[in-house]
Amino acid sequence: MSVGHTGVTNPAPPEPVIVCSTPQDECGVRDVLDRLGDTWSVYVIVELASGIRRFNELQRSIPGTISQRMLTLTLRRLERDGLVHRTVYPTVPARVEYGLTELGHSLTHLVRALADWSIENRPAIAAARRAWDDADGAAPPRP
């Protein structure tokens, strides 16, 4: 400390990630994150980023076992949010195709950044989990 300095200097607090008018307002973030944080929405967005898909194509391309009902609900929610468009062709049987809207495409770079971050940091996260489990003595139950 310098001769003339007698007080403790606290660094300025970091800028908040989100600034809303009130804590209850949430700026609509929770609503969007709830949609994108569900089990299947990101998978659907990733698959549709590479082009238009028919329902069964989409269902087969998503990792895991998404049911027909869950895929239908996910597509409807994404369509309602303006991220996915649905095109029905007047054929017998009706042919339905799904694709990303311009708004949906604008989200793909963020999804890619999150995927890249996950891949890059997976070993560090695994090591932190092992260290926490070892220090705690009991690992949390696995799903």
- Consecutive sets of 10 residues in the chain, 143 residues long: mean pLDDT of each? 60 70 66 78 92 94 89 95 94 93 94 90 94 76 62
Alpha-carbon gap, residue 75 to 81, rounded angstroms: 10
The pLDDT of residue 65 is 83
The pLDDT of residue 36 is 76
Residue pair 96/86 in contact by the 8 Å Cβ criterion: yes
DSSP 8-state code for residue 79? H
CATH class given for the domain over 26-135: mainly alpha
The pLDDT of residue 39 is 80
Residue 143 in tokens: 């799903």
Residue from 29, 43, 35, 46 nearest 109 by CA: 46
Residue 103's H or E segment, with its range, is helix 102-136
DSSP 28-77: GHHHHHHHHTSTTHHHHHHHHHT--EEHHHHHHHSSS---HHHHHHHHHH
Residue 81 in tokens: 């949010």
Q: What is the crossing angle of helices 41-49 and 102-136, to 10°?
A: 130
The pLDDT of residue 30 is 73
Residue pair 48/98 in contact by the 8 Å Cβ criterion: yes
Domain locations along the chain = 26-135
The pLDDT of residue 38 is 82
